[in-house]
Amino acid sequence: MQKKLSITTLYISFLCISLYLTGCQSPEPKITSPSPETTPSPEASQISIKIPQKPLTLPPNNPEKIASTQVQTYINRLANQGFSQQNQGIWVQSNDTLLANHQGTIPLPAASITKVATTLVALITFNPNHQFITLISTTGKIENGVLNGDLVIQGGEDPLFVWEEAIAIGNLLNKIGIQRVTGNLIITGKFYMNFESNPQTAGNFLKQGVNSQIWPGEALTQYQTLAPGTPKPQVIIDGVIEVSPTAPENLKLLIRHYSFPLAELVKKMNQYSNNLMADMLAEAVGGYQVVATKAAEFTGVPKDKIQLINGSGLGEENRISPRAATGMFLAINNYLQQYNMSVADVFVIVGKDKGILEDRKQLPNFAVVKSGTLDYVSALAGALPTKEKGIVWFTILNKGASVTQLRNQQEIFLRDLLNKWGAVDSSPPELTANPDRKTKKSRSEIIK
């Protein structure tokens, strides 16, 4: 887990918005509070979600002896360093063989492995191509560069609306012919900015973002990452930030902003283990209770194997069994295959992707993983490509006084498995990200 400030700094610096300007010749639409829209693939309407009648993982009995011996060696090493065996959980399986199980069916503190549940439920609730929509409208008329009225923002739960988005919106407002707004900035719906869910705070960020004359240092820093020649917007808003439960009547829609597709959103969320994004996505699907219930349904495990208090993993009360965590990875992979994607499209590929795992140099290259860390918890789960066993799916949940020692032992354990089964030289096709995913960006369009 990362602290909020470091997440924001890391994450915002990583982003670069792609802006598209298009016209719309259709009649002026009636504006209501926006609901998330999707841009599904052509076959999306034919995709159905099947609730498994039994767990996607294998039965917990009779694991393979060789791997079980290695697991016992790993557990003994932890015990020799003072870590209780009862606080450790491991599940390892290939597609057809249970390779190891140590307390694999017992819910244990999962830290950011909780985000695997949030990822699964968000993907299936919407779809990988889903885009959250923010609407920018007005209650007045534009005359000589002045909007005589209010500027209205209808939030659509976009969890990755940041400085770059605000700069792009400001430039579009300038393009429309707006340099000043005489009225208020009205925020309605679920509008987030810079990972702030408080609408007053998010609205204040937006008011700053569209007016380069009042940019804070962080906005200027992010502007400098944009393409050379990107204009600096100047939209002066005379009024205050007004938060309203409903949008005003008789709105004129000016701009429609589409978020990154959901697959890219969760990829970025998992790369940097962004707690705020995870909780926003959990809220978007109905809350952490819904995440827990549906994750268990989609994985085929009993509900008590996934116990959550939020969608991010902050707090040891978030407990998941290693078997259930592995099952969630399998469920995500199975679902994404229908979109020519895999878990590699939504989780970190070791040795290829940037993020919080860059410092863990001893993790096996080409593994696709999610890590989790709290003060006394270290977790690691995902897919390990091997020569002999193919894709090995694993979850390791550790608890103890030294997270550093636990991480080191996890890496030694995975290397031991690769010494036994053989390391691959490149990402196998089934763990290779779809290159088309990265071409899909956030975008904004002017509504004429």
* CA distance linking residue 67 with residue 289, whole number of Å: 35
Residues 32-77: tens digit of each pLDDT:
344 444 444 433 434 557 788 889 999 999 888 888 899 999 999 9
Q: Do the Cβ atoms of 34 and 246 come closer than 8 Å?
A: no
Share of the chain residues as helix, strand and coil, in percent rounded to the nearest 5: 35, 20, 40
The residues, ordered by sequence, that sit 6+ positions from 215 with a Cβ below 8 Å of its Cβ are 208, 209, 223
Residue 236 burial by Cβ neighbours in a 10 Å radius (0-12, 13-18, 19+): middle
* CA distance linking residue 249 with residue 359, whole number of Å: 52
Residue 3 has pLDDT above 50, yes or no: no
What's the pLDDT score for residue 48?
A: 57
- The count of other CB atoms within 10 Å of the CB of residue 141 is 10
Residues 378-405: tens digit of each pLDDT:
999 999 999 999 999 999 999 999 999 9
Report the candidate in 319, 329, 306 with the shortest Cα–Cα distance to residue 374.
Answer: 319
Dihedral (CA of 36, 329, 161, 247) sign: positive
Kindly report which listed range (55-64, 79-88, 146-155, 348-357) carries the lowest average pLDDT score.
Answer: 55-64
Residues 239-295: tens digit of each pLDDT:
999 999 999 999 999 999 999 999 999 999 999 999 999 999 999 999 999 999 999
- Across 380-393, b (16+ Cβ under 10 Å) vs e yields bbbbbbbeebbbbb
Q: For the chain, first and last CA: distance in Å? A: 44
What's the pLDDT score for residue 2?
A: 39
| HSE-up (13 A, CA, CB side) for residue 254 | 23
* Average pLDDT taken over every residue of the chain: 90
Residues 164-205: tens digit of each pLDDT:
999 999 999 999 999 999 999 999 999 999 999 999 999 999
- Across 173-196, b (16+ Cβ under 10 Å) vs e yields bbebebbebebbbbbbbbbbbbbb
Instruction: Determine the average pLDDT of the residues in 91-102.
Output: 95
Which two structure tokens, joined as six digits, stand for 329? 């990875």
| 26 or 317, which is more confident | 317
Percentage of the chain with pLDDT > 90?
A: 84
What's the pLDDT score for residue 47?
A: 53
Residue 232 has pLDDT above 70, yes or no: yes
* CA distance linking residue 178 with residue 148, whole number of Å: 10
Residue 119 has pLDDT above 90, yes or no: yes
Full-model pTM: 0.89
What's the pLDDT score for residue 161?
A: 98
At the topology level of CATH, where does 50-128+264-437 sit?
A: Beta-lactamase (3.40.710)
* CA distance linking residue 60 with residue 62, whole number of Å: 7
Q: Do the Cβ atoms of 305 and 324 come closer than 8 Å?
A: yes
Place of tokens 């244990």: 108
Q: What band does 135 get if pLDDT is binned at 50, 70 and 90?
A: very high
Strand partners, 148: 141
Report the candidate in 235, 222, 214 with the shortest Cα–Cα distance to residue 194.
Answer: 222
Q: What is the CATH number of domain 132-259?
A: 3.50.80.20
The full set of domain ranges for the chain reads 50-128+264-437, 132-259
Phi, psi for 85 (deg, rounded to 5): -65, -30
CATH topology of 50-128+264-437 equal to that of 132-259?
no
The residues, ordered by sequence, that sit 6+ positions from 373 with a Cβ below 8 Å of its Cβ are 1, 111, 112, 379, 403
* CA distance linking residue 406 with residue 69, whole number of Å: 19
Q: What band does 143 get if pLDDT is binned at 50, 70 and 90?
A: very high
What's the pLDDT score for residue 41?
A: 40
